[in-house]
Structure 1
Amino acid sequence: MGRKQSYTESELLDITKKLVLEHGYDGFHLKLLSQHLPGARSTIYQYYSNKEEIVAACMKRVIETVIKKTSAIDETNSMQALQGLLDIYVEESKLHQLLSDAHKISPVNSSATSRDLIFVEQAHITLKDQLTRLFQRAQQEKNLRGDIPLPILIGGFFNLINIPNMMNVPNPQWSKLLFQMWMGGAQS
């Protein structure tokens, strides 16, 4: 019995994400991708012309998902909104690892790559603006200390996703624990 003759674009992007996270952008190549797909390597070219197009499309897809989730956050209560954002960021904790090599992708040879990279950059700005807005409101409402500069608060908050979950706590619980620690500190 031969290999499955084709795969969906979604399957292609899922495998691309997995491989870029495992091998980095520099270690990712079309031969590696084809080794992990059920169909012929030539099928890749039905969707994308080259490595840059595939990886840029993958990045766009992932950040687009995050934007959809973060856009649905009710921002009425700034602290609940920040908790909700942390839930999303913990769930999508590999986002920044995936996007970290975006600068290595050359948009010169493909208008699709260029469009996707522009989308990724604009989405990143949208996420940053949302965080800044919520942190400013939380400070104005006296829910967060006003004597700590906003970039430090945001940086500390955002880096919570880098704390290893050595206890393998489910993501929603892990996010809640991280938020409680961040809000209360480690003092008794």
Structure 2
Amino acid sequence: MARERKYTDEDLFQATKQMIIADGYEAFTFSKLASVLNVSRGSIYKYYENKDELISEFLMYEMNRFLKKFNDLDKSGDFQTQFDLIIDFIFEQSNIHQVVEIIPQIPISTTKRVEDNKSKLSEYYVDMYEQFQGFIELGRQENVIKNHIPTAVLLGMIFQTIAIPNHFGIPQAEWVSSIKEILSHGMFEK
């Protein structure tokens, strides 16, 4: 049996995040998590009835952290200034798309705690979407973004380009700069 030791919520959530990103929701188990944390499964069950409770709590933690950092950004400039700031921020928080994709995988009917967490996560998601939608609207007001392109397409493009893997090891600054250029001006010579 693994030797018991105390762990913080931060330790627990970081281990959960690493495991979910590496292996996915379905492969996540308390046994594997306990092994990573060097504790018994029972020490995790003291706080969480099942993996859905833990994962939903982890998702709440991640979304709270993401939204707090996003809200702390100085978004007082024009669209181009905000665009650079927001794209840099999204790259710094690049795992958020993997985290958000987990939400629909959690069954709502496991426990009341999971149900409440999923409801709150939906609110966080709407808040996040509305903030990014406001960013797109600023671009439209400044006549920088084409009005005929749906907001959902624009936001999807932004978030999906962030998810493109850098298999060729292009330096991060060059990678981000290239993504910004493609998002801002496309790939065609004029």
Aligned to 1:70: 70
Cα drift, residue 168 of structure 1: 4.5
Aligned to 1:54: 54
Aligned residue in 2 for 1:83: 84
For residue 33 of structure 2, what is the aligned residue in structure 1? Answer: 33
CA deviations on 1:49-100 (whole Å, 9 max, x unpaired) are 2111111111111111110111122333223223222222212222222232
Q: State, as a whole percentage, how many aligned pairs show the same letter.
A: 23
Equivalent residue pairs, number: 186
Cα displacement (A) at 1:144: 1.8
Is 64-73 or 111-120 further displaced after alignment? Answer: 111-120
Higher relative contact order (CA 8 A, sep 6+): 1
Corresponding residue number in structure 2 for 1:12: 12
Q: What's the TM-score, normalizing by structure 1?
A: 0.87
Determine the structure 2 residue equivalent to 1:22: 22
Structure 2 CA distance for aligned equivalents of residues 116 and 175 of structure 1: 34
CA distance, structure 2, for counterparts of residue 71 and residue 175 of structure 1 = 22
Ranges of 4+ aligned residues in structure 1 off by more than 4 Å: none
Pair 1:133 & 2:134 matched: yes
SS in 2 for 1:36: helix
Change (3 A) 1:5 1:158: closer
Of 146-155 and 88-97, the range deviating more from structure 2: 146-155
Q: 1:169 aligns to what?
A: 171
SS at match of 2:67: helix
The secondary structure found in structure 2 opposite 1:52 is helix
Decide whether the 8 Å contact of 1:6 with 1:40 is kept in 2. Answer: no
Q: Give how far 1:41 is off.
A: 1.9
Equivalent-residue separation in structure 2 for 1:147 and 1:21 (angstroms): 35
The separation in 2 between residues aligned to 1:24 and 1:115, in whole angstroms, is 22
Deviations 1:34-57 (A, max 9, x none): 121122221112322211111111
Indicate the SS of the match to 2:26: helix
